[in-house]
Amino acid sequence: MLVPFIMIGLVVITGIVIWLDDADMHRNTQD
């Protein structure tokens, strides 16, 4: 079954996107 791996992959990708977006916002506020 690949479903569990796909679910984990989506969660990881979403977390990375949110983390990068948050880092970008912090960088912009510092600048």
d(CA 16, CA 7): 14
- Backbone phi, psi, residue 26, to 5°: -65, -40
19-27: average pLDDT? 81
pLDDT at residue number 13: 98
pLDDT at residue number 24: 77
11-20 pLDDT per residue, tens: 999 999 999 9
pLDDT at residue number 29: 66
Identify the residue with better confidence: 8 or 21. Answer: 8
pLDDT at residue number 31: 61
pLDDT at residue number 30: 63
